[in-house]
Amino acid sequence: MTTVNPKPRLQTAARTIDLLLAVAREPAGASVKDIVGAMGVPRQVVYNLLHTMLELRVIRRTPQQRYTLGVGLLPIVTSFERDLAIHDQLRPIVQSIARQTGETAYAVGWLDDEIVVLETARGAQPVHVAEVSLGYSGFAHARASGKLLLACASDEQRRYYMSKRPLDPRTEHTIVSESVLEEEFARIRRDGFASEIEEFLPGLCCIAVPVPHTNEMLCVGISAPIDRFTLESERYRTEIIDILSHAE
């Protein structure tokens, strides 16, 4: 009798990681449809993985039937935050930006060939939009911080990064043309800052400014609802630059 070998367990491990990443990339939580689309596997495979991961509490299901990361991942998150301690000098800067502008502030940098959120701080404004979490690295071409760091990267680093990641749309405003994006990079290098209006999430706008006098490519910025951003974007940029100048 011929024995049929089961599929290697590495496939299940890879799918588990893919599912966690699909969930982590959705700030408001991922639906089953989102996960199936991101993973490119049959819906039943996703349901089987979700059932196991819910039991292990590494993901959780919200009342809106969306999936977010669960408390079972806290030891991993804590370890990751510990590994990011080299960027502790960014924390007071980000906190000052959040206090001064009233908006959610963040610091972003390169980490292992990814553009990663290294620090966040929530502002005092009573109304906030959905924000990206510590460690988030998706859709750099749709985020002000990502566009800034790509614009300031070497041609080789930028080409390598973009060759590995399709210019998928997040919203109808996301730039998905490489030539148009290169024009945006040129504008960013000329003006010294980057912004985006509803390119990453509907109703969300961001502005990012490079951190000067560091050996790493880092930037800081804020995210705000479109109504406030439209009125205050220049104030945000001025206040961020002022805070950076006093942090030197």
The per-residue pLDDT for 248 is 63
CA atoms within 13 A on the CB side of 39: 29
Helix (H, G, I), strand (E, B) or coil at 81: helix
Give residue 181's pLDDT band: very low, low, confident or very high (50, 70, 90).
very high
Place of tokens 């960014």: 90
Between CA 211 and CA 244 the distance in angstroms is: 7
Query: Both 39 and 133 in a single domain?
Result: no
Please give the average per-residue pLDDT across 73-97, as a whole number. 77
Q: What is the mean pLDDT of the chain?
A: 88
Does residue 234 contact residue 101 with C-beta atoms inside 8 Å?
no
Please give the average per-residue pLDDT across 37-42, as a whole number. 92
Last residue of a domain, one of 69, 88, 109: 69
> Per-residue pLDDT for 79 more than 80?
no
**Does 202 map to a domain?**
yes
**Does 106 map to a domain?**
yes
Please give the average per-residue pLDDT across 44-49, as a whole number. 94
Q: Which range marks the domain in which residue 205 is found?
A: 77-247
For residue 178, the tally of other CB atoms under 10 A from its CB is 11
**Does 224 map to a domain?**
yes
Query: Both 43 and 134 in a single domain?
Result: no
Between CA 122 and CA 7 the distance in angstroms is: 45
Task: Please tell me the total count of domains within the chain.
Answer: 2
Residue 240 backbone dihedrals phi, psi, to 5 degrees: -65, -45
**Does 4 map to a domain?**
no
CATH number of 58's domain = 1.10.10.10
Query: Both 59 and 100 in a single domain?
Result: no
The per-residue pLDDT for 74 is 83
> Per-residue pLDDT for 78 more than 90?
no
Closest CA to 218 of 133, 117, 101, 140: 117
Between CA 26 and CA 156 the distance in angstroms is: 29
Query: Both 128 and 218 in a single domain?
Result: yes
The per-residue pLDDT for 1 is 43
Query: Both 81 and 59 in a single domain?
Result: no
Query: Both 65 and 89 in a single domain?
Result: no
